[in-house]
């Protein structure tokens, strides 16, 4: 699927081209299904799967449809289109640069049961088989645990 364009429906989900006899060698693009229609179809299918089975989800859907003054199927379609529009808006927003994640360890914020698990890992005979970044992190954690008593620095 192509990235959504600036049109309200997100542009063609599956555009296709074929030569037109009147245009000579030029090709004509046919839009097919819009991204908005595709997203709505996927979302209504998800709602049918979750709310189409008798139970709490189905009951909640019926109640929501009644509160909105709609037929259940119309309410599902409305929800799907609203969700598709929200998805198109979200896709149009610039994405922030990812922030690199670094392993950190705070012994004071870790329960004693986790201290025991970390120390057990440190003492395990296959500890050396772990990747270096994990071994270094566990070593740091064990060193921090050694400075604490019951997870509280002293």
Residue 63's domain spans which residues?
Answer: 1-95
Q: How many CB atoms lie within 10 A of CB 144?
A: 17
The verdict on 91 and 20 lying in the same domain is: yes
pLDDT of residue 124: 77
The verdict on 81 and 39 lying in the same domain is: yes
The verdict on 70 and 117 lying in the same domain is: no
3-class DSSP state for residue 4? coil
Cα–Cα distance between 45 and 50 in angstroms, integer? 9
The string of pLDDT tens digits covering residues 86-142 is 988 888 888 777 766 555 656 555 566 666 777 777 787 777 887 887 788 778 877
Say if pTM beats, i.e. exceeds, 0.75. no
What values do phi and psi take at 18, rounded to 5?
-150, 150
User: Whole-angstrom distance between the N-terminal and C-terminal Cα of the chain?
Assistant: 57
3-class DSSP state for residue 67? helix
pLDDT of residue 4: 46
Name the strand (E) or helix (H) holding 85. helix 72-92
């Amino acid at each position: 699927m192509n990235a959504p364009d600036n049109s309200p429906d997100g542009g063609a989900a599956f555009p296709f081209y074929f030569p037109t006899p009147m245009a000579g060698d030029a090709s004509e693009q046919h839009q097919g299904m819009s991204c908005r229609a595709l997203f709505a179809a996927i979302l209504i299918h998800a709602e049918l799967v979750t709310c189409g089975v008798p139970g709490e989800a189905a009951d909640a859907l019926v109640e929501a449809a009644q509160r909105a003054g709609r037929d259940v199927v119309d309410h599902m379609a409305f929800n799907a289109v609203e969700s598709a529009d929200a998805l198109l808006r979200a896709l149009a927003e610039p994405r922030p640069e990812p922030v690199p994640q670094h392993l950190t360890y705070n012994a004071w914020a870790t329960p004693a049961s986790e201290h025991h698990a970390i120390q057990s890992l440190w003492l395990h005979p296959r500890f050396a088989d772990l990747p270096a970044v994990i071994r270094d992190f566990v070593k740091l954690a064990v060193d921090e645990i050694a400075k604490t008593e019951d997870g509280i620095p002293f």
